[in-house]
Amino acid sequence: MSVDWWYSAILELAKTAQTSVESSAIFDGSDTSMSGNGAYVAGQGDVVLGGNGLPEIDLPHGSGGGCKPVSLGLTDGTTVSNGDGLSYNPRCLKRDLTTAINQKYANATAVVNQILKPKDVYDFQMTMQGYPGSGNIGVHGGGHYTIKGDPGRDLFVSPGDDVFYLHYGMIDRTWWIWQTLDVRKRTGAQGISGTGTFLDSPPSANTTLDTVIDLGYAAGPQVTMRDLMSTTSGPFCYIYL
């Protein structure tokens, strides 16, 4: 695969770090956007990550913070008040677009480093998340906290914002680009590292190609990790352009 191909794709990922999140085609409030920022809230505090002996990471507040009215989905991230969650259901979606976080953690250099530096999947995963104690939240956390509001301040209700799915589609795309640089190794057993729980909390068994993945109603029938390693060799049939 040519360097020019994936490098142009990476530059596309980081445009908003240069132009500002608010002016991007995703958040500019136009008819084809994912709506815009939340209402401005004066005096809101920063988000501070850390604790448990780790140094604190201060994430500045953005230019919104309040509600962006939407008319579909769960009322408060957990409760379906209209029966099916698909009917008209006006609610408050919080967003706090923060270009400074985009510029620091999810810029073009960060994404290039995410794809080129890791030579094994453990390093890829930890670079993506941010090594604990490194002061870096990675491009994954960078995306969450660039949007902040519901997708950042409360990770458990992140899917309540439709842009969450664009973010994770791009996370998947980044993984796929990384895999294509060494397909045989990175779609096989050496493409798996760690246990079935995040940072092994709570402790769980190491994941292998034969580990069964069951996400219940959210993902259909059970599959093994072997089925999930390639976007073309198993039940999936897609690539990214």
pLDDT over 90 at 57, yes or no: yes
| pLDDT score of 1 | 44
Between these two residues, 13 and 156, which has the higher pLDDT value? 156
Any domain includes 139: yes
Measure the CA–CA gap between 212 and 210, rounded to whole angstroms.
Answer: 6
In percent, how much of the chain has pLDDT > 90?
Answer: 49
Distance CA 172, CA 175 (A): 5
Residue 53 phi, psi dihedral angles, 5° rounding: 85, -5
Q: Which residues pair with 92 in a beta bridge?
A: 69
CATH number, domain containing residue 105: 1.10.1280.10
187 lies in a domain? no
pLDDT value of position 120:
97
In terms of domains, do 154 and 123 share one?
yes
Quick check: 147 and 153 in contact, CB under 8 A? no
Q: Are residues 124 and 234 in the same domain?
A: no
Average pLDDT for 115-137: 95
Counting the structural domains of the chain, the total is 2
Instruction: Specify whether 211 is located in the same domain as 100.
Output: no
Q: Is residue 155 domain-shared with residue 238, that is, in the same domain?
A: no
Domain boundary (157, 181, 205) is at 181
127 and 161 in one domain? yes
Verify that 18 and 68 share a domain, yes or no: yes
Question: What band does 74 get if pLDDT is binned at 50, 70 and 90?
Answer: low
- Residue, of 199 and 135, whose pLDDT is higher: 135
Distance CA 46, CA 4 (A): 38
- Residue finishing a domain among 156, 181, 206: 181
**Full-model pTM:** 0.86
Among candidate residues 181, 216, 233, the one where a domain is terminated: 181
Give pLDDT, residue 217.
80
Owning domain of residue 137: 3-181
pLDDT at 77 over 70: no
Give the pLDDT band of residue 6 (cuts 50, 70, 90).
Answer: very low
**Average pLDDT score, the chain:** 85
Q: Is there a single domain that holds both residue 102 and residue 171?
A: yes
The answer to whether residues 161 and 200 belong to one domain is no
Please tell me whether residues 214 and 108 are part of one structural domain: no
Do 146 and 215 belong to one domain? no
- Same structural domain for residues 139 and 65? yes
Task: Give the residue-averaged pLDDT of 75-82.
Answer: 52
Judgement on whether residues 175 and 113 belong to the same structural domain of the protein:
yes
- C-alpha of 86 from chain center: 24
| 160-219 pLDDT tens trace | 788 888 889 889 999 999 999 999 999 999 999 999 998 888 999 999 999 999 988 878
Which residue is it, tokens 């969650």? 85
